[in-house]
């Protein structure tokens, strides 16, 4: 009887040691992407399930892909939108091991190497120190740096993206950012609402309206139908040199 | 002896609520204190402050009636409805706000909810 109890305890100890061992990630997930596909690979110290969750919003990874139990995990995603940043998390059904992003190729957004973050921030926030009109940068920063409330982007894109033939939320956000840069470079009509710091911009020629928060991030971007829409917008007229965006 | 008001029965009033459907978790108030619109799209009913009204000319009442007759569907495709979300309860809160005089515009017509 004692031998049986001893064996039983040993078996339980071995099993619990196996089951309770926390799976660990080896290195970081590797991503490779084309315009419409992406491959994400990662390694774990022991075999475990393969699950990748991904989406356009880091707070709502609403798509899921799964694979076999292994320690070398590979997931291939297809039918992705070009020039779009996707957020993902990797792990198994029970644990989330790491998160990351990748951007699909194509379009104007994901081409040339980007200037440093410091340079881009300085470029956006120091309008008063650069009074001379500057050329509009061809490439927008990542959407999370240009759009105010990321979780609202999908709705704004769904409603107004068609006004600009935008192919994706990122493309739409990039065009909104470009309007602000162009407004500053070409001194387009701008109104600043001192109450909450909202800057409203209007391109008379194209009939395009954009609104930006006090950090210079987009609130909305669309083409108004009403011809008097701009005249009725609140705020005082400002010039590019008067702008003082504050970091969020 | 007068009873102290219970915290549970005290209605929490936030300025970040939608005057169309009563959703109370907007990112910012629909209008600032000088009347400037937030330009936010209500994730619940889809009203965009400063666009649906100022550009398309729809009033809160008209849009609410339309939303109710369309079945009070959750609007946002980027943000999911909260667990247990109930549009009728939400409209009830809006009606209560209206009776408290905190809302411009008419409360929802209860006959339309039936």
Q: Is the ipTM of this complex over 0.90?
A: no
**B112 pLDDT tier (thresholds 50, 70, 90):** low
**Separation in Å, CA of A167 to nearest CA in chain B:** 16
Using 70 as the pLDDT threshold, list the residues of chain A that sit under it: 1-21, 106-138, 245-248
What pLDDT score was predicted for residue A36?
A: 77
Q: Token pair for residue B59?
A: 């009033």
The residues facing A48 across adjacent strands are A70
> Checking DSSP bridges between strand A198-203 and strand A85-91, what pairing results, if any?
unpaired
Beta-carbon separation of B55 and A225 below 8 A:
yes
Give domain limits for chain A.
2-103, 117-242
> In terms of C-beta density within 10 A (0-12 exposed, 13-18 middle, 19 or more buried), how is residue A176 classed?
buried
Min Cα–Cα distance to chain A from B110, Å: 29
Helix (H, G, I), strand (E, B) or coil at B71: coil
For residue B4, give how far its alpha carbon lies from the nearest alpha carbon of chain A (Å).
Answer: 38
Question: May I ask the CATH architecture of the domain A117-242?
Answer: Roll (3.10)
CA–CA gap between residue A117 and residue A141 (Å, rounded): 9
Question: CA–CA separation, A9 vs A11, rounded Å?
Answer: 5
Contact A198 B43 (CB under 8 A): no
> Which of the 8 DSSP states describes residue B103?
S
pLDDT at B38: 96
Q: What is the DSSP letter of A193?
A: E
Reported as a pLDDT band with limits 50, 70 and 90, residue B31 is very high
Check the CA dihedral A149-A84-A220-B17 and report its sign.
negative
Chain B residue with minimum CA distance to A150: B78
Q: What percent of chain B has pLDDT over 90?
A: 64
Asked whether the beta carbons of residue B54 and residue A234 sit closer than 8 angstroms, the reply is no
> A229 to chain B: which residues are within 8 Å by CB?
54-55
- CB atoms under 10 Å from CB of B93, counted, come to 17
In chain A, which residues have their Cβ closer than 8 Å to the Cβ of B45?
none
Q: According to the model, what pLDDT value does residue B110 have? A: 62
**C-alpha dihedral sign at A71, A77, A82, A87:** negative
**Residue reference for tokens 């926030």:** A125
Whether B34 has its CB under 8 Å from any CB of chain A: the answer is yes
Instruction: Select the CATH number that applies to the domain covering A2-103 from these four: 2.60.40.1120, 3.30.980.10, 1.10.760.10, 2.60.40.10.
Output: 2.60.40.10
Interaxial angle between packed helices A153-160 and A169-186, expressed in degrees from 0 to 180 and rounded to the nearest 10: 80
A155/B contact by beta carbon, under 8 A: yes
CB contact under 8 A, A195 and B34: yes
Those of residues 43-82 in B touching chain A at CB distance below 8 A are 43, 46, 48, 50-51, 54-57, 75-80
Residue of A22 and B17 predicted with greater confidence: B17
Structure tokens at A117: 């973050």
Domain boundaries, chain B: 16-114
CA atoms within 13 A on the CB side of A240: 20
For the cut 90, the answer to whether the pLDDT of residue B72 exceeds it is yes
Determine how many CB atoms are found less than 10 A away from the CB of residue A14: 10
Q: Do A155 and B75 touch (CB under 8 A)?
A: yes
Share above pLDDT 90 across residues of chain A, in percent, rounded to a whole number: 35
Q: Is the pLDDT of residue B3 over 80?
A: no
Helix (H, G, I), strand (E, B) or coil at B58: coil
Burial zone of A17 (CB within 10 Å; 0-12 exposed, 13-18 middle, 19+ buried): exposed
Q: What is the pLDDT of residues A85-101, one digit of tens each?
A: 888 888 887 778 888 88
Name the residue facing A158 among B27, B32, B77 (closest C-beta): B77
Tell me whether residue A177 is exposed, middle or buried, using C-beta atoms within 10 angstroms of its C-beta: 0 to 12, 13 to 18, 19 or more: buried
Contact (CB<8Å) B57/A211: no
């Amino acid at each position: 009887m004692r031998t049986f109890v001893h064996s039983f305890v040993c078996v339980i100890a071995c099993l619990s040691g196996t089951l309770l061992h926390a799976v660990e990630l080896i290195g970081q997930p590797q991503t490779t992407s084309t315009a419409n596909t992406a491959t994400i690979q990662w390694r774990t110290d022991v075999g475990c399930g393969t699950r990748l969750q991904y989406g356009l919003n880091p707070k709502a990874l609403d798509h899921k892909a799964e694979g076999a139990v292994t320690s070398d995990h590979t997931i291939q995603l297809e039918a992705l939108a070009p020039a779009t940043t996707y957020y993902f998390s990797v792990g198994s059904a029970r644990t989330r091991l790491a998160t990351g992003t990748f951007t699909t190729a194509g379009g104007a957004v994901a081409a040339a190497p980007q200037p440093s973050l410091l340079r881009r921030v300085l470029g956006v926030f120091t309008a008063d120190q650069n009074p001379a009109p500057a050329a509009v940068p061809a490439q927008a920063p990542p959407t999370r740096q240009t759009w105010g409330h990321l979780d609202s982007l999908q709705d704004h894109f769904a409603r107004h993206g068609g006004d600009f033939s935008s192919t994706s939320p990122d493309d739409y956000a990039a065009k909104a950012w470009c309007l602000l840069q162009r407004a500053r470079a070409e001194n387009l009509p701008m109104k600043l609402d001192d109450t909450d710091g909202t800057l409203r911009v209007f391109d008379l020629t194209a009939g395009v309206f954009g609104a930006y928060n006090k950090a210079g991030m987009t609130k909305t971007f669309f083409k108004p139908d009403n011809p008097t829409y701009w005249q009725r917008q609140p705020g005082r007229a400002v010039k590019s040199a008067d702008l003082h965006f504050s970091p969020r | 002896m007068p009873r102290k008001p219970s915290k549970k029965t005290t209605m929490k009033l936030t300025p970040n609520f939608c005057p169309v459907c009563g959703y109370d978790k907007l990112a910012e108030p629909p209008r600032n204190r000088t009347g400037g619109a937030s330009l936010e799209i209500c994730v619940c009913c889809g009203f965009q402050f400063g666009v649906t009204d100022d550009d398309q000319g729809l009033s809160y009442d008209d849009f609410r009636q339309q939303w109710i007759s369309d079945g009070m569907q959750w609007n946002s495709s980027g943000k999911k409805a909260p667990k247990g979300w109930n549009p009728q309860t939400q409209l009830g809160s809006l009606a209560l706000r209206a009776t408290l005089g905190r809302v411009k515009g008419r409360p929802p017509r209860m006959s339309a909810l039936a």
